[in-house]
Amino acid sequence: MASSMLSAAPAMDVHNAQIVCKDVSHWFLKSDGTPIQVLDRVSISLEPHSFTSLLGPSGCGKTTLLRVIDGLIRPAVGTVIVGGEAVTGPSANRAMVFQEHNLLPWKTAQENIRFGCKLVGIPASESLRRANEAIALMGLNGFEHHLPSQLSGGMKQRVGIARALSIHPQFLLMDEPFGALDAQTREVLQIELLKIWEADRKTVVFVTHSLDEAILLSDRIVIMGTRPGHIKAVIDVDLPRPRSDDMRADPVWTNLRRHLWQLLKPEMIEVAG
Ligand SMILES: Nc1ncnc2c1ncn2[C@@H]1O[C@H](COP(=O)(O)OP(=O)(O)O)[C@@H](O)[C@H]1O
Ligand SMILES: [Mg+2]
């Protein structure tokens, strides 16, 4: 196995990175009012147009970190710089895709997508054009006037992704977007996301619990440990692009998978114990 594949993070190149978190720590208040630390000196530096997955046990702070990058949470300590600017709140430059699609149940697929555009100030005529573009891209033609209740889980998630893409963000933050889907739907959407990403390479941070999903999609995998959440390892995925499912049998893939599991297993045991 190429040693570079399993190397630790290269030295942080803060100047060329598009997403930089520097010594980010954060605490939440428990119900009894006592603080609990959820992020501990998290420093990451993600290159422009790169695809990074975050892997780690439940509760290790993946969602919190994503929300910090999105500007939905101001970290108690540390700085976050995205696209060269300090993050002080949400921006139209960044879009989130959630595990639960978060669609408005009374709006159709197209209306949900246009609503996302409206929230960031895109005028109605333009939002219609963008919604239709995203509907076509996500294979939703024929479903644009369906309500979420009339769509399968996979279709709802397609709408969630279309809504994010329609604002033309530079940064896509995806929080277990396929976590609630059945295995086959998940594989179909992984391949579609891969194609879409390889065509226009947004800078993506993607949270997942699936080792194979992370390997298939990512340039780099960040492993988080828990109590409190911290960066345990950063690993390059040394597989060529375009990627495909057929690479699963490649020794690079199987060795990387084994290595990822070795890193994650003690964290999972800690959470379970
Ligand atoms: N708003 C909040 N208030 C208090 N505690 C929170 C809040 N959001 C998350 N937490 C806690 O912070 C920790 C990290 O949560 P989260 O970022 O959602 O982890 P992950 O996404 O890795 O499962 C968990 O222990 C969770 O219960
Ligand atoms: Mg989460």
Nearest-angstrom CA–CA distance, 5 and 203: 21
Nearest ligand 1 atom to alpha carbon 224: 22
What would the pLDDT profile of 104-154 be if each residue is shown by its tens digit? Answer: 999 999 999 999 999 999 999 999 999 999 999 999 999 999 999 999 999
Query: Ligand 1 atom 9: the closest Cα is on which residue?
Result: 64
pLDDT attached to residue 242: 93
Going by the DSSP 8-state scheme, the letter that residue 10 receives in this structure is P
Q: Is 59 in the pocket of ligand 1 (CB under 6 A)?
A: yes
What would the pLDDT profile of 230-257 be if each residue is shown by its tens digit?
999 999 999 999 999 899 999 999 999 9
Q: 139 and 172 in contact (C-beta within 8 Å)?
A: no
Q: What is the mean pLDDT of residues 187-205?
A: 94
Q: Whose CA is nearest to atom 2 of ligand 1?
A: 28
- Find out whether the beta carbon of 18 lies less than 6 Å from any atom of ligand 1: no
Question: Which of 64, 70, 173, 176 for mutating ligand 1's site (highest number of atoms within 8 Å of CB)?
Answer: 64
Winning range, highest mean pLDDT, from 39-43, 95-99, 179-183: 39-43
> Mean pLDDT over residues 211-221, rounded?
97
Q: Tell me whether residue 52 is exposed, middle or buried, using C-beta atoms within 10 angstroms of its C-beta: 0 to 12, 13 to 18, 19 or more.
A: buried
Residue 58 near ligand 1, beta carbon < 6 Å: yes
Query: Under DSSP, is residue 175 helix (H, G, I), strand (E, B) or coil?
Result: strand
Q: What is the pLDDT of residues 20-76, one digit of tens each?
A: 999 999 999 999 999 999 999 999 999 999 999 999 999 999 999 999 999 999 999
Condensed to tens digits (0 to 9), the pLDDT of residues 64-89 reads 999 999 999 999 999 999 999 999 99
Q: Please list the alpha-helical segments (H only) found in 122-232.
A: 124-137, 153-166, 183-200, 211-217
In the prediction, which pLDDT does 273 show? 58
Closest ligand by atom to 230 CA = 1
The structural domains of the chain, ordered by start, are: 3-93+171-177+190-272 (3.40.50.300), 100-169 (no CATH)
Q: Which of 27, 55, 63, 206 maximizes ligand 1 atoms within 8 Å of its Cβ, making it the mutation to test the pocket? A: 63
Say whether 103 sits in a helix, a strand or coil. coil
Q: How many CA atoms lie within 13 A of 171 on its CB side?
A: 26
Q: Which residue has the tokens 């891969």?
A: 194
- Kindly state the tokens that stand for 247: 């690479």
SS3 143: coil
CA of 72 from ligand 1 middle (Å) equals 14
The confidence score (pLDDT) of residue 252 equals 96
Contact 203, 46 (CB under 8 A): yes
**Confidence band of 7 (pLDDT split at 50, 70, 90):** very low
Helix 153-166 to helix 183-200 angle (10° resolution) is 20
pLDDT at residue 222, as a whole number: 98
